[in-house]
Structure 1
Amino acid sequence: MSAQKAKNISAVPIDGFSNIRITSTWTFLQSVDWSEPWLIGLLVFHFLCFAFTIFTCKYYRLQIFHFLLMVTMVYSAEYLNEVAAMNWRSFSKFQYFDSKGMFISLVYSVPLLLNTVIIVAVWVKRTFSTMTELKTLQLKRKAARENSKKTQ
């Protein structure tokens, strides 16, 4: 049994940069060299995207455009992964772009999808607020009609 366990452990890949056995998403993210300029730029992009998501909460039409743009960027992540995998030497020290797209999904798509979830939550909150206001107005009009009938 211990030979089989040793065989299974040796099947777990070791990262070339940090020499960590990659067994989870967290160890995968730890194995990334976050000091590379393009990764710093990507983090800045995600920060600005989040700030724009918060800024557009009051501007419905701008938020729709922002939402559609982010969904389109997530949709194009597969193609971006292919292009980056072919040209990684021109901007990166290591080949992060695997065929399954784990890296691009974690560092590119997930933050964008979290922004879209925030936007959907804002839309749901706005919808519930509008429905509550509408129901309150309906009840006030009904009460006003009943009061006017009683006074006549």
Structure 2
Amino acid sequence: MTDSKVKNTSSVPIDGYSNVRITSVWTFLQSVDWSESWLMGLLAFHVFCFAVTVLCRKYYRLQIGQFLVMVAMVYTAEYLNELAAMKWRSFSRFQYFDSKGMFISLVYSIPLLLNTVIIVAIWVCRTFSTMVELKTVQLKRKAAREKLKKSQ
């Protein structure tokens, strides 16, 4: 006798608009109609945010402002999800905005959080390089003082 496991497919949610079983994030993202203009605009917004992050990596104050704005946008994602769930017919063909916020988290919050992680990584690299420069200056001053003491 072989033991064959019967997979309980009734526990896997079915996507309401394309009848695809949602088994992973990838199948969820594949079931989204990416040709909708508001989704293209959202994608363009994320590309713009990434470009600003990369192009302004040397401008510390601008990055602080960008970081704070993006964190505030992620913070308001729950409220934005509720609003979009009520008004989805005015801008979308399908109701993407579930009560758990999976869709808005995947297409809105995660790209913003990745940008903020990039900004933090830039700050850490800048801090390390500043620390190395500071230690180099300290060692040079110490060597100059010792050389001055030996010459006297």
TM interval, short-chain normalised = over 0.9
Q: Percent identity?
A: 77
Count residues with an aligned counterpart.
150
Letter in 1 for 2:6: K
Cα drift, residue 14 of structure 1: 2.0
TM-score normalised according to structure 2 size: 0.94
Give, in whole Å, the separation in 2 of the partners of 1:48 and 1:126. 23
> Are 2:31 and 1:5 equivalent residues in the alignment?
no
Alignment of structure 1 residues 22-33 onto 2, 5 Å: 22-33=22-33
Letter in 2 for 1:12: V
Letter in 2 for 1:116: T
Give, in whole Å, the separation in 2 of the partners of 1:19 and 1:36. 19
Alignment of structure 1 residues 1-150 onto 2, 5 Å: 5=6, 8-150=8-150
Report Cα offsets for 1:66-116 as digits up to 9, x if no partner: 000000000000000000000000000111000000000000000000000
Cα drift, residue 15 of structure 1: 1.8
Cα drift, residue 25 of structure 1: 0.6
Structure with higher helix content: 1
Cα drift, residue 42 of structure 1: 0.3
Letter in 1 for 2:126: R
Q: Secondary structure at the match of 1:32?
A: coil
TM-score normalised according to structure 1 size: 0.94
Which segments of 5 or more consecutive residues in structure 1 lack a partner in the other structure?
A: none
Give, in whole Å, the separation in 2 of the partners of 1:140 and 1:105. 50
Which segments of 5 or more consecutive residues in structure 2 lack a partner in the other structure?
A: none
Letter in 2 for 1:79: Y
Contact 1:17 1:33 in 2 (8 A): no
